[in-house]
Amino acid sequence: MARSNRIHLLDEIRGFMIICMVLFHAFYTMGYIFGMDIGITLLNFFAPAEPFFAAGFILISGYCSRLSHSNLKRGGRLLLIALLLTLVTYLLDRYCGMEGTLICFGILHLLSICMLLYALCERFISRINAFIGVIICILLFAFTFNIDKGMLGFGVYTVTLPAALQSTDWLAPLGLHSASFYSADYFPILPWLFVFFAGSFLGVSANRRLPKFCYNQHIRPLAYCGRHTLIIYIIHQPVIYGLVWLLHQIFS
């Protein structure tokens, strides 16, 4: 969309979310990779809020799918970056002594798949009333929320999936994996796909003129981070690892 019509508020919210994600990974690296007590303390304090920040980031990405000229191209490009990230973190984890950095199916993998699925289903999705679409997504999110525990449903309407589905890690992208599965950043398609799609239904509002404050830039650093989330995500983990390693060497 034209620069004069850019929704800067989205950039600022997205910038805040990526900063929170970076902090969470920093605390995790300090606490569980380098065994620093302060890291564990900060992580335990921060952990309850982390899913909400991640959900907000995914929701906004879904919202922005309504603003993209080609979700197919955008999703394909992001998937290639995500696969390259997996290769790099595998090499770092396996051969460079940076244990715990392997990312098998992180948020970039998730968002790329969501963009591709949205591109394939866009004509169908556009026929669904936005309010009804959001309600359906909320229900499906709740229905699949416990898939990592081998269950589908909510309340008394819960079914247990066959244990064989969790005996392998091939289904990890869907949320089903063995007890030994590990990924430094893990956001499976289920249930997070429905957060993305809920955002795409909310994004219908972008086709109308939003309140003026949505187009104004309020906090420049957050807006800047929001416009460069992909670069920040790609470089933040090795930078954090290097800084924490240096602090660990100095103070241990």
Tens of pLDDT, residue by residue over 106-134, are 999 999 999 999 999 999 998 999 999 99
Q: Does residue 62 contact residue 125 with C-beta atoms inside 8 Å?
A: no
Rounded CA separation 180/146 (Å): 18
Average pLDDT over residues 148-167: 91
Quick: pLDDT tens for 160-200.
999 999 999 999 999 999 999 999 899 999 999 999 999 99
pLDDT category of residue 4 using cuts at 50, 70 and 90: low
* pLDDT at res. 60: 94
DSSP for 78-141, written as a single string: HHHHHHHHHHHHHHHHHHSS-TT---SB-HHHHHHHHHHHHHHHHHHHTTS-HHHHHHHHHHHH
Quick: pLDDT tens for 195-237.
999 999 998 877 677 788 888 888 999 999 999 999 999 898 8
Average pLDDT over residues 47-54: 89
* DSSP state at residue 32: I
Task: Give, for 207, the enclosing helix (H) or strand (E).
Answer: none
Which of 7, 127, 142, 139 shows the shortest CA–CA distance to 63? 7
Average pLDDT over residues 146-171: 92
